[in-house]
């Protein structure tokens, strides 16, 4: 009897349906490695705002500061490691560089933000030590720090962001030393941009206008500590007007918008070489008109002056191609179609990217991209990706890829990548998309 029961049980077991296979799950997208950035002067103003913003966005921030109180406050922030860093002290700079290298994260970004305003004074009344103080921080500081961290930035093909100022092309009276230092930063950024492009590093300058930071208060305090007063000088009224114009009471906007531009300069596939950040149209017009006035002065009454029509043509050409990272922009053009018949969700987005695919063990470095709202458009989609040819290394491999996303969820991806082996010349490619997992019907 037991033998019959055993045979029956075996038959039932063999007849039972096999458990259903779990639905195919698309492979998880590789998570990009956390990028690291060093910010000098991170204790207040633009530096503190950028530290908080970038850390909240997932960057690991090495935050440079001088006082122990500031270092302790910065260390309380998530994704932040405070480091003692006075940009006038080479020993602290190279100690910081050794620390960053030893930690093994690498360094993708450097934000040269530390700066001082100096005591307001007529240039002919200023002492040499006043100019030395301003230049030591505002000009030699970025040079020292960039030089020390350049090998790490070259390894990551990263970014240098120099915080310049609207004073880098508009010099106000009584603020001559500060304006001189920021004009120097503009020249430094231009020369450094061309030199570091050879290493694949992009250099960006940011020119903030008037924002509520501590720089004017610090300058006024320094003037008081030195016992300087312009009350009985011909410049007394001009000094009062200058300090009032730049005081926090007259400047309503804080540093957060400049911090967002710093993030964009670090994150954008094709960052602008210059970024004017002002609080109102009047300040923007003032800066642009000053630059145009310089052009008019340079063109005035010499044997090789240009007429108005030629100048307008030059301006149109510059507006059409302002450049990125200091170089003439190149482009990849093409189309994106479908390998199969699909229907897209209303919020679907096509992302087409030019990427460095040289290393299979690292996240692809994006040189340029275009986002296309897919819903309601006709197939194929045309695209144009602009990129800086200075970032192309002929020893590396580059490709154009496309994908369709819906709220961050990957739906479709191009079934092959088209190599880009040219340097500078436009390249045309055509991509076809295939589904990842189940496609919407």
Instruction: Write out pLDDT tens, residues 99-111.
Output: 999 999 999 999 9
pLDDT (0 to 100) of residue 345: 74
Residue 278: the pLDDT is: 92
Using the structure block, give the residue that is written with the tokens 């510059």: 318
Q: Residue 424 carries which DSSP code?
A: S
Cα(366)–Cα(412) distance, integer angstroms: 19
Which is more confident, 130 or 380? 130
What's the pLDDT score for residue 214? 60
**pLDDT value of position 175:** 87
74 has pLDDT over 50: yes
Rounded to two decimals, the pTM is 0.68
Query: What are phi and psi for residue 414, nearest 5 degrees?
Result: -65, 140
pLDDT band at 134 (very low <50, low <70, confident <90, very high): very high
Q: Kindly report the average pLDDT of the chain as a whole number.
A: 81
| Contact by Cβ (8 Å): 39, 63 | yes
Cα 29 from chain centroid?
24
Could you tell me the pLDDT band of residue 30, with boundaries at 50, 70 and 90?
Answer: very low
CB 387 within 8 A of CB 332: yes
| Terminal Cα distance for the chain, rounded | 56
Beta bridge partners of 366: 355
Higher-pLDDT residue of 13 and 27 is: 27
The confidence band for 57, taking pLDDT boundaries of 50, 70 and 90, is very high
Find the Cα–Cα–Cα–Cα dihedral 372, 377, 378, 379, rounded to 10°. 40
pLDDT at 266 > cutoff 70: yes
Task: Specify whether the CB–CB gap between 77 and 55 falls below 8 A.
Answer: yes
Check if the beta carbon of residue 277 is closer than 8 Å to that of residue 161: no
Average pLDDT in the 193-200 region? 84
Q: Flag whether pLDDT at 423 surpasses 60.
A: no
Please, is 408 exposed, middle or buried when counting C-beta atoms within 10 Å of its C-beta (0-12, 13-18, 19+)? exposed
pLDDT at 248 over 60: no
More confident residue, 133 or 376: 133
| 210 vs 184 pLDDT, higher one | 184
Confidence of residue 223 (pLDDT cuts 50, 70, 90): low
223-232 mean pLDDT: 66
C-alpha pair distances (Å), 52 with each of 42, 61, 64, 127, 422: 9, 9, 13, 37, 40
Q: What is the pLDDT of residue 167?
A: 92
Whose CA is closest to 406, among 353, 343, 333, 322?
343
Residue 9 sits at φ, ψ, to 5 deg, of -65, -40
Contacts of 167 (CB under 8 A, 6+ apart): 175, 178, 179, 182, 183
Structure tokens given for 337: 């179609």
The reported pLDDT for the residue numbered 224 is 63
- pLDDT over threshold 90, residue 321: no
**C-alpha pair distances (Å), 78 with each of 48, 55, 61, 263:** 13, 7, 9, 17
Selected catalytic residue, list 94, 108, 133, 178: 178
pLDDT value at residue 240: 73
**Tokens 């210059």 sit on residue:** 274
The helix (run of H) or strand (run of E) holding residue 382 is: strand 381-387
Quick one: 49 exposed, middle or buried, by C-beta within 10 A (0-12, 13-18, 19+)?
Answer: buried
Is residue 209 within 8 A of residue 287, CB to CB? The reply is yes
Q: Six-digit token pair at 216?
A: 């004017």
State the average pLDDT over residues 131-158: 96
Instruction: Give CA 99 to chain center in angstroms.
Output: 23
Predicted confidence at residue 12, as pLDDT, reads: 36
* Omega within 30 of 0 (cis) for the link into 205: no
Q: 125-134, 305-314, 412-421 — which is least confidently predicted?
A: 412-421
pLDDT above 90: percentage of residues in the chain: 44
Q: pLDDT: is 200 or 153 the higher one?
A: 153
Coil, strand or helix at 343: coil
Assign 333 to helix, strand or coil: strand
Model confidence at 41, in pLDDT bands (50, 70, 90)? Answer: very high
Residue 353 corresponds to which tokens in the numbers above? 């990217």
pLDDT tens digits along 61-72: 999 999 999 999
pLDDT at residue number 346: 73
Q: What is the DSSP letter of 378?
A: P
- Is beta strand 398-406 parallel, antiparallel or unpaired with respect to 409-414? antiparallel
| Range in 3-12, 112-121, 148-157, 325-334 the model is least confident about | 3-12
Instruction: Tell me the C-alpha distance between 15 and 22, whole Å.
Output: 21
Range list of β-strands (E), 169-254:
202-208
Question: What's the CA gap between 405 and 8, in Å, rounded?
Answer: 53
Tell me phi and psi for residue 374, to 5 degrees: -80, -35
Asked about 398 being catalytic, the answer comes back as no
What's the pLDDT at 25? 43
Structure-block tokens of residue 207: 């020119």
The distance from CA 223 to its chain's CA centroid, rounded to whole angstroms, is: 35
pLDDT surpasses 90 at 374: no
Beta bridge partners of 65: 84
Task: Report the relative pairing of strands 409-414 and 427-435 from DSSP bridges.
Answer: antiparallel
Which pLDDT does position 13 carry in this prediction? 39
Buried (b) or exposed (e) across 260-275, using 16+ Cβ within 10 A?
ebbbebbbbbbbbbbb
């Amino acid at each position: 009897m037991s033998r019959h029961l055993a045979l029956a049980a075996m038959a039932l077991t063999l007849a039972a349906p096999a458990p259903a296979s779990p639905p195919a799950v698309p492979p998880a997208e590789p998570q990009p490695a956390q990028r690291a950035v060093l910010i000098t002067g991170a204790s207040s103003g633009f530096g503190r705002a950028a530290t908080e913003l970038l850390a909240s966005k997932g960057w690991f921030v090495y935050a440079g500061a001088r006082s122990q109180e500031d270092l302790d406050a910065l260390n309380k922030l998530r994704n932040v490691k405070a480091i003692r860093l006075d940009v006038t002290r080479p020993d602290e700079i190279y100690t910081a560089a050794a620390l960053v290298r030893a930690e093994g994260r690498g360094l993708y970004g450097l934000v040269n933000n530390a700066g001082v305003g100096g005591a307001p004074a007529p240039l002919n009344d200023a002492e040499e030590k006043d100019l030395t103080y301003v230049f030591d921080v505002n000009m030699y500081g970025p040079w020292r720090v960039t030089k020390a961290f350049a090998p790490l930035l070259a390894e990551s093909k990263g970014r240098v962001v120099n915080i310049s100022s609207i004073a880098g092309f508009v010099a106000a009276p009584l603020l001559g030393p500060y304006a001189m230092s920021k004009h120097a930063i503009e020249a430094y950024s231009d020369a450094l941009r061309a030199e570091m492009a050879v290493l694949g590093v992009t250099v960006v300058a940011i020119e903030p206008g008037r924002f509520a930071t501590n720089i004017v208060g610090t300058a006024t305090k320094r003037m008081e500590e030195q016992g300087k007063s312009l009350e009985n000088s011909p410049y007394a009224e001009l000094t009062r007007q200058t300090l009032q114009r730049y005081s926090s009471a007259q400047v309503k906007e804080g540093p957060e918008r400049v911090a967002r531009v710093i993030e964009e300069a670090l994150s954008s596939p094709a960052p602008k070489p210059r970024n004017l950040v002002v609080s109102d149209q009047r300040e923007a017009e003032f800066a642009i008109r000053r630059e145009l006035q310089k052009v008019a002065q340079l063109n005035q009454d010499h044997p090789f002056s240009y007429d108005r029509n030629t100048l307008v043509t030059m301006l149109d050409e510059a507006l059409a191609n302002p450049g990125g990272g200091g170089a003439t922009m190149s482009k990849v053009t093409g189309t994106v179609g479908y390998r199969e018949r699909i229907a897209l969700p209303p919020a679907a987005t096509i992302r087409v990217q030019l990427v460095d695919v040289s290393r299979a063990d690292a996240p692809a470095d994006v040189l340029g991209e275009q986002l296309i709202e897919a819903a309601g458009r006709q197939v194929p989609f045309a695209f144009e990706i602009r990129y800086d040819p200075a970032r192309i290394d002929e020893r590396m491999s580059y490709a154009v890829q496309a994908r369709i996303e819906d709220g961050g969820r990957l739906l479709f991806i191009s079934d092959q990548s088209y190599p880009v082996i040219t340097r500078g010349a436009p390249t045309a490619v055509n991509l076809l998309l295939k589904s990842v997992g189940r496609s919407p019907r």
